[in-house]
């Protein structure tokens, strides 16, 4: 079966298909790289807002640019509605095949059993999209009486009212019929403390976290800023038709002094190296680690511990130049029509692990999505689905969907999965992840401000 999958794998059109690196972008088959001069689109309303702001107050950071483009209350990408699926700008694993969510649920079930069948559970999802992944997880839980009866609440971290409406239409009826409370919050900090065993899932969430970009100069780090001034010579990129482009600060600002100091890996970079750092990712990962931490006997808190899965494209390393924009399954210039395309950057899983260290929660992996899904039974689950369907068209769709999930060139390898688990000791093995390594914080380690 595995060799058959390998022979028939096709290029996926998911967001992971290529990186911002020019060489990788040119080699990708599932995206066209569209230059601003040939896109033929009218200027986006947000482009003028950004230029006016920069004229008034000066260049802005890449993180601020991403926040405006993705979350502006009027012109932001995610505030404008449903952007998922074949008719949107990208398609995600849960939209491709139900098997993805089912196998994630199975891993959570193994952690539930290992924890001794807790009587009360809750599940939290960050960036729930249409609610498809959550629906598949809940449907799988529903097949197992013990965990189904223990699940008391669902918490969705989502700040788009339009996407909340989509999620509600997909989840409300199921939850109401089973007396499962469903809550929406804007931030993970808004999820209330609880004494339940907690499951956390973050699928393609951290890639959308705003990044700050830096270049290491002989005198220290300098931040890369979004500007409109064309007179900065070799320090800047060429302008897009939006009138925006990237330039390197000549002086060290507070971000350049503080953010690269959050990891010793950044300080060790050579002169001329660039690095993208998502400070919000550190803070959110840290919060997840604290939420999953199991309370010690005699503690004033009452957390029962928990388990989590983080799924995203990236690797266990830093990235210098992965920032990119995607619209209609095509890679475009990051300054082309701000607010009308998805902005994303690869996830530095090592940075997430550093954030979780010292919380009492252990980080597992990451391992590739292909390894995770195949290890947890993608092939037998696919065979069972094929046996229960008589339609040749439906069978072909099921096969293609499974193939895309484990494609060794794209989704199967570029998507990584990190497990999170409370109370696991050094050397513990949590299938299908490798043995745990120590996660205690290094003495004197510098972390971002909370």
Q: What is the pLDDT of residue 396?
A: 96
Which of 213-217, 262-266, 423-427 shows the lowest per-residue confidence on average (mean pLDDT)?
423-427
Report which of 212, 253, 231 is spatially closest to residue 67, judged by C-alpha positions.
Answer: 212
Q: What is the pLDDT of residue 306?
A: 97
What value does the mean pLDDT of the chain take? 85
DSSP one-letter code for 410: T
| CATH class of domain segment(s) 94-209+279-319+347-422 | alpha beta
Q: What is the pLDDT of residue 304?
A: 87
Which of 231-235, 252-256, 364-368 shows the lowest per-residue confidence on average (mean pLDDT)?
231-235
Q: What is the pLDDT of residue 405?
A: 97
Report which of 126, 121, 129 is spatially closest to residue 185, judged by C-alpha positions.
Answer: 126
Q: What is the dihedral of CA 344, 346, 347, 349, to 10 degrees?
A: 180
DSSP 26-44: HH-SS--EE-GGGS-PPPP
Instruction: Kindly state the percentage of the chain with pLDDT values over 90.
Output: 68
More confident residue, 2 or 196: 196
Mean pLDDT of 305-311: 97
Range 160-177 burial, b when 16+ CB lie within 10 A, else e: beebeebbeebbeebbee
- Its pTM stands at 0.84
Q: Is the pLDDT score of 297 beyond 80?
A: no
Listed in order, strand segments (DSSP E) in 196-315 are: 197-203, 212-217, 220-227, 245-248, 274-277, 306-315
Q: What is the pLDDT of residue 191?
A: 97
Q: What is the pLDDT of residue 43?
A: 76
Could you check whether the bond before residue 25 is cis, i.e. omega within 30 degrees of 0?
A: no
Q: What pairs with residue 363 in β-bridges?
A: 420
Domain boundaries of the chain, sorted by first residue: 94-209+279-319+347-422
Query: Beta 151-157 vs 181-185: how paired, if at all?
Result: parallel
Q: What is the pLDDT of residue 296?
A: 65
Q: What is the pLDDT of residue 446?
A: 42
Report which of 398, 372, 397 is spatially closest to residue 385, judged by C-alpha positions.
Answer: 398
Q: What is the pLDDT of residue 8?
A: 30
Report which of 372, 380, 385 is spatially closest to residue 433, judged by C-alpha positions.
Answer: 372
Report which of 218, 201, 209, 231 is spatially closest to residue 343, judged by C-alpha positions.
Answer: 209
pLDDT tens string 189-247: 999 999 999 999 999 999 999 999 999 999 999 999 999 847 434 444 444 667 888 99
Q: Is the pLDDT score of 1 beyond 80?
A: no
Q: Is the pLDDT score of 158 beyond 50?
A: yes
Between the two ends of the chain, the Cα-to-Cα distance in Å is: 48
Q: Is the pLDDT score of 42 beyond 70?
A: no
State how far the Cα of 100 lies from the Cα of 81, in Å rounded to an integer: 24
> What is the enclosing helix (H) or strand (E) of 24?
helix 22-27
State how far the Cα of 323 lies from the Cα of 416, in Å rounded to an integer: 18
Mean pLDDT of 245-263: 94
Report which of 226, 225, 220 is spatially closest to residue 258, judged by C-alpha positions.
Answer: 220
Q: What is the pLDDT of residue 217?
A: 96
Which of 114-118, 231-235, 237-241, 360-364 shows the lowest per-residue confidence on average (mean pLDDT)?
231-235
Query: Is 296 buried (19+), middle (13-18) or exposed (0-12) by CB count in 10 A?
Result: exposed
The model's confidence at residue 303, banded by pLDDT at 50, 70 and 90, is: confident
pLDDT tens string 388-416: 999 999 999 999 999 999 999 889 999 99
Q: What is the pLDDT of residue 374?
A: 98
């Amino acid at each position: 079966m595995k060799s058959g999958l390998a022979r028939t794998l096709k290029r996926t059109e998911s967001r992971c298909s290529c990186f911002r690196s020019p060489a990788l972008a040119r080699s990708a088959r599932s995206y066209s790289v569209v230059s601003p001069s040939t896109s033929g689109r009218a200027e986006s309303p947000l482009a003028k807002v950004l230029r006016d702001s920069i004229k008034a107050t000066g260049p802005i950071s890449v993180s601020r640019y991403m926040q405006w483009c993705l979350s502006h209350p009027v012109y932001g990408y995610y505030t404008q509605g449903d952007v998922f699926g074949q008719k949107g700008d990208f398609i995600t694993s849960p939209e491709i095949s139900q098997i993805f969510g089912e196998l994630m649920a199975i891993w959570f079930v193994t952690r539930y059993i290992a924890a001794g069948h807790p009587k009360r559970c809750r599940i939290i999802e960050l960036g729930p999209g249409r609610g498809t992944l959550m629906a598949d997880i809940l449907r799988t839980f529903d097949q197992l009486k013990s965990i189904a009866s223990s699940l008391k609440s669902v918490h969705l971290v989502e700040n788009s009212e339009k996407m909340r409406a989509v999620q509600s239409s997909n989840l409300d009826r199921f939850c109401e019929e089973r007396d499962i409370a469903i809550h929406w919050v804007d931030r993970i900090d808004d999820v209330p403390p609880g004494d339940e065993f907690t499951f956390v899932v973050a699928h393609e969430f951290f890639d959308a976290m705003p990044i700050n970009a830096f270049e290491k100069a002989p005198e220290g780090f300098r931040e890369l800023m979004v500007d409109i001034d064309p007179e900065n010579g070799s320090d800047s990129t060429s302008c897009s038709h939006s009138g925006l482009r990237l330039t390197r600060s000549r002086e060290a600002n507070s971000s350049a002094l503080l953010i690269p100091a959050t990891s010793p890996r950044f300080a060790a970079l050579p002169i001329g190296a660039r690095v993208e750092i998502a400070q919000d990712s550190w803070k959110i990962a840290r919060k997840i680690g604290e939420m999953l931490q199991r309370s010690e006997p005699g503690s004033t808190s009452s957390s029962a511990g928990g388990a989590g899965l983080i799924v995203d494209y990236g690797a266990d390393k830093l990235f210098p130049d992965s920032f990119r924009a995607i619209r209609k399954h095509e890679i475009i210039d990051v300054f082309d029509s701000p607010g009308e395309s998805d902005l994303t950057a690869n996830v530095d899983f090592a940075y997430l692990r550093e954030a979780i260290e010292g919380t009492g929660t252990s980080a597992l992996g990451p391992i590739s999505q292909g390894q995770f899904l195949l290890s947890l039974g993608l092939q037998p689950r696919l065979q069972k689905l094929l046996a229960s369907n008589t339609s040749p068209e439906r069978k072909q769709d099921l096969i293609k969907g499974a193939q895309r999930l484990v494609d060794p060139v794209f989704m199967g390898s570029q998507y990584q999965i990190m497990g999170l688990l409370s109370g696991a000791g050094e050397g513990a093995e949590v299938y299908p992840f490798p043995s745990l390594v120590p996660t205690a914080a290094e003495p004197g380690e510098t972390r971002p401000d909370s």
